Protein backbone atom coordinates (compact mmCIF):
# COMPACT_ATOMS: atom_id res chain seq x y z
CA UNK A 1 0.00 0.00 0.00
CA UNK A 2 1.02 3.46 -0.55
CA UNK A 3 2.15 5.73 2.16
CA UNK A 4 -0.80 7.92 3.27
CA UNK A 5 1.33 11.01 3.21
CA UNK A 6 2.17 10.44 -0.41
CA UNK A 7 -1.37 9.59 -1.56
CA UNK A 8 -2.60 12.56 -3.68
CA UNK A 9 -6.21 11.75 -2.72
CA UNK A 10 -5.50 12.54 0.92
CA UNK A 11 -3.89 15.81 -0.07
CA UNK A 12 -7.13 16.71 -1.80
CA UNK A 13 -9.09 15.86 1.35
CA UNK A 14 -6.83 18.06 3.42
CA UNK A 15 -7.24 20.87 0.89
CA UNK A 16 -11.00 20.39 0.94
CA UNK A 17 -11.02 20.51 4.76
CA UNK A 18 -8.94 23.67 4.64
CA UNK A 19 -11.32 25.15 2.09
CA UNK A 20 -14.30 24.20 4.30
CA UNK A 21 -12.66 25.80 7.32
CA UNK A 22 -12.00 28.95 5.29
CA UNK A 23 -15.58 28.96 4.06
CA UNK A 24 -16.90 28.54 7.57
CA UNK A 25 -14.82 31.48 8.71
CA UNK A 26 -16.00 33.47 5.69
CA UNK A 27 -19.64 32.65 6.53
CA UNK A 28 -19.09 33.89 10.03
CA UNK A 29 -17.68 37.04 8.56
CA UNK A 30 -20.67 37.36 6.12
CA UNK A 31 -23.30 36.97 8.83
CA UNK A 32 -22.84 40.53 10.16
CA UNK A 33 -22.93 41.86 6.60
CA UNK A 34 -26.09 39.90 5.81
CA UNK A 35 -27.78 41.05 9.01
CA UNK A 36 -26.63 44.61 8.30
CA UNK A 37 -28.14 44.39 4.79
CA UNK A 38 -31.36 43.05 6.26
CA UNK A 39 -31.38 45.89 8.80
CA UNK A 40 -30.79 48.43 6.05
CA UNK A 41 -33.62 46.92 3.98
CA UNK A 42 -35.94 47.06 6.98
CA UNK A 43 -34.96 50.68 7.64
CA UNK A 44 -35.50 51.53 3.96
CA UNK A 45 -38.95 49.91 4.04
CA UNK A 46 -39.83 51.79 7.23
CA UNK A 47 -38.66 55.11 5.75
CA UNK A 48 -40.57 54.40 2.54
CA UNK A 49 -43.70 53.70 4.58
CA UNK A 50 -43.22 56.93 6.55
CA UNK A 51 -42.75 58.95 3.34
CA UNK A 52 -45.91 57.44 1.84
CA UNK A 53 -47.84 58.25 5.01
CA UNK A 54 -46.51 61.80 5.00
CA UNK A 55 -47.52 62.19 1.35
CA UNK A 56 -51.01 60.87 2.16
CA UNK A 57 -51.25 63.25 5.15
CA UNK A 58 -50.10 66.12 2.97
CA UNK A 59 -52.72 65.29 0.34
CA UNK A 60 -55.42 65.04 3.02
CA UNK A 61 -54.37 68.41 4.44
CA UNK A 62 -54.49 69.93 0.96
CA UNK A 63 -58.00 68.56 0.38
CA UNK A 64 -59.15 69.68 3.83
CA UNK A 65 -57.72 73.15 3.21
CA UNK A 66 -59.48 73.34 -0.14
CA UNK A 67 -62.78 72.25 1.44
CA UNK A 68 -62.35 74.76 4.28
CA UNK A 69 -61.60 77.51 1.76
CA UNK A 70 -64.73 76.66 -0.25
CA UNK A 71 -66.86 76.60 2.90
CA UNK A 72 -65.43 79.91 4.07
CA UNK A 73 -66.17 81.38 0.66
CA UNK A 74 -69.75 80.06 0.63
CA UNK A 75 -70.70 80.41 4.28
CA UNK A 76 -68.27 83.01 5.62
CA UNK A 77 -70.80 85.81 5.19
CA UNK A 78 -73.62 83.97 6.95
CA UNK A 79 -73.52 86.32 9.97
CA UNK A 80 -73.85 89.35 7.71
CA UNK A 81 -76.59 87.64 5.72
CA UNK A 82 -78.47 86.79 8.92
CA UNK A 83 -78.11 90.40 10.05
CA UNK A 84 -79.64 91.63 6.75
CA UNK A 85 -82.76 89.49 7.09
CA UNK A 86 -84.57 91.96 9.42
CA UNK A 87 -84.01 94.66 6.77
CA UNK A 88 -85.69 92.39 4.22
CA UNK A 89 -88.53 91.63 6.68
CA UNK A 90 -89.13 95.34 7.39
CA UNK A 91 -89.19 96.27 3.70
CA UNK A 92 -91.60 93.38 3.03
CA UNK A 93 -93.89 94.43 5.93
CA UNK A 94 -93.84 98.04 4.77
CA UNK A 95 -94.98 97.00 1.30
CA UNK A 96 -97.61 94.59 2.66
CA UNK A 97 -99.32 97.42 4.58
CA UNK A 98 -99.58 99.82 1.63
CA UNK A 99 -103.12 100.40 0.35
CA UNK A 100 -104.28 102.13 -2.84
CA UNK A 101 -104.81 105.51 -1.16
CA UNK A 102 -101.24 105.51 0.15
CA UNK A 103 -99.93 104.41 -3.26
CA UNK A 104 -101.74 107.38 -4.89
CA UNK A 105 -100.24 109.84 -2.42
CA UNK A 106 -96.69 108.44 -2.10
CA UNK A 107 -96.29 106.32 -5.22
CA UNK A 108 -92.67 107.36 -5.82
CA UNK A 109 -91.59 106.41 -2.30
CA UNK A 110 -93.39 103.08 -2.48
CA UNK A 111 -91.83 102.36 -5.88
CA UNK A 112 -88.42 103.15 -4.34
CA UNK A 113 -89.05 100.70 -1.49
CA UNK A 114 -90.12 98.03 -4.02
CA UNK A 115 -86.94 98.62 -6.06
CA UNK A 116 -84.83 98.47 -2.91
CA UNK A 117 -86.44 95.17 -1.88
CA UNK A 118 -85.93 93.76 -5.39
CA UNK A 119 -82.27 94.82 -5.38
CA UNK A 120 -81.78 93.26 -1.95
CA UNK A 121 -83.24 89.99 -3.28
CA UNK A 122 -80.88 90.18 -6.29
CA UNK A 123 -77.91 90.57 -3.94
CA UNK A 124 -79.16 87.64 -1.86
CA UNK A 125 -79.46 85.49 -4.98
CA UNK A 126 -76.01 86.54 -6.20
CA UNK A 127 -74.53 85.27 -2.92
CA UNK A 128 -76.44 81.99 -2.81
CA UNK A 129 -79.38 83.00 -0.61
CA UNK A 130 -82.76 81.71 -1.66
CA UNK A 131 -86.06 82.34 0.12
CA UNK A 132 -88.10 79.54 1.69
CA UNK A 133 -91.68 80.67 1.08
CA UNK A 134 -94.29 78.23 2.40
CA UNK A 135 -97.97 78.79 1.72
CA UNK A 136 -101.06 78.14 3.78
CA UNK A 137 -102.03 74.49 3.35
CA UNK A 138 -98.45 73.22 2.91
CA UNK A 139 -97.27 70.46 5.23
CA UNK A 140 -95.13 71.63 8.15
CA UNK A 141 -91.49 70.57 7.68
CA UNK A 142 -89.35 70.98 10.82
CA UNK A 143 -86.23 71.05 8.62
CA UNK A 144 -87.42 74.26 6.91
CA UNK A 145 -90.09 75.76 9.18
CA UNK A 146 -90.30 76.99 12.75
CA UNK A 147 -93.73 76.68 14.36
CA UNK A 148 -94.52 79.93 16.16
CA UNK A 149 -97.95 78.75 17.36
CA UNK A 150 -100.47 75.95 17.00
CA UNK A 151 -104.17 76.57 16.71
CA UNK A 152 -107.20 74.48 15.80
CA UNK A 153 -108.50 75.61 12.44
CA UNK A 154 -111.61 74.27 10.73
CA UNK A 155 -111.15 72.61 7.33
CA UNK A 156 -107.47 71.87 7.93
CA UNK A 157 -105.47 68.84 8.99
CA UNK A 158 -103.08 68.74 11.92
CA UNK A 159 -99.61 69.74 10.76
CA UNK A 160 -100.73 72.03 7.93
CA UNK A 161 -99.41 75.57 7.77
CA UNK A 162 -102.20 78.06 8.43
CA UNK A 163 -100.21 81.31 8.49
CA UNK A 164 -96.77 82.52 7.36
CA UNK A 165 -95.28 85.20 9.59
CA UNK A 166 -91.78 85.42 8.08
CA UNK A 167 -90.09 83.81 5.11
CA UNK A 168 -87.10 81.60 5.69
CA UNK A 169 -83.82 81.61 3.78
CA UNK A 170 -81.30 79.04 2.62
CA UNK A 171 -77.64 79.89 2.15
CA UNK A 172 -76.54 77.49 -0.60
CA UNK A 173 -77.57 74.14 0.89
CA UNK A 174 -77.79 75.24 4.54
CA UNK A 175 -80.77 76.70 6.34
CA UNK A 176 -79.94 80.28 7.31
CA UNK A 177 -83.29 80.99 8.94
CA UNK A 178 -86.41 78.79 9.07
CA UNK A 179 -89.71 80.17 7.82
CA UNK A 180 -91.80 81.23 10.80
CA UNK A 181 -95.29 79.74 10.53
CA UNK A 182 -98.46 78.96 12.40
CA UNK A 183 -99.55 75.32 12.32
CA UNK A 184 -102.99 73.73 12.57
CA UNK A 185 -103.60 71.49 15.55
CA UNK A 186 -107.01 70.31 14.42
CA UNK A 187 -107.32 66.66 15.36
CA UNK A 188 -108.15 64.18 12.63
CA UNK A 189 -111.81 63.37 12.67
For 92-146, how does the pLDDT look when each residue is reduced to its tens digit (9 = 90+)?
999 999 999 998 999 999 999 999 999 999 999 999 999 999 999 999 999 999 9
* Whether residue 108 sits in one domain with residue 161: no
* Whether residue 133 sits in one domain with residue 118: no
**Which value, to the nearest 10 degrees, does the dihedral of the CA atoms of residues 151, 152, 153, 154 take?**
180
Which has more confidence, 72 or 180?
180
Confidence of residue 186 (pLDDT cuts 50, 70, 90): confident
Residue 83, domain extent? 77-127
- The answer to whether residue 157 is domain-embedded is yes
* Whether residue 134 sits in one domain with residue 111: no
- The answer to whether residue 81 is domain-embedded is yes
CB 152 within 8 A of CB 185: yes
- The answer to whether residue 1 is domain-embedded is no
* Whether residue 148 sits in one domain with residue 96: no
Percent of the chain with pLDDT strictly greater than 90: 63
What pLDDT, in 10s, does the model give residues 134-163? Answer: 999 999 999 999 999 999 988 888 899 999
* Whether residue 21 sits in one domain with residue 39: yes
* Whether residue 137 sits in one domain with residue 177: yes
d(CA 187, CA 185): 6
The pLDDT of residue 116 is 96
Domain count, the chain: 3
- The answer to whether residue 138 is domain-embedded is yes
Amino acid sequence: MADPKEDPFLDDVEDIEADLDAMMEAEVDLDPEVSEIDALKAERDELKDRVLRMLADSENMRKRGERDRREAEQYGGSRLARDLLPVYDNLRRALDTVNEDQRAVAGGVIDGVELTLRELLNVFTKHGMTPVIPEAGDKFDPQLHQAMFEAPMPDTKAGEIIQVMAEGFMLHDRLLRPAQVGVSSTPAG
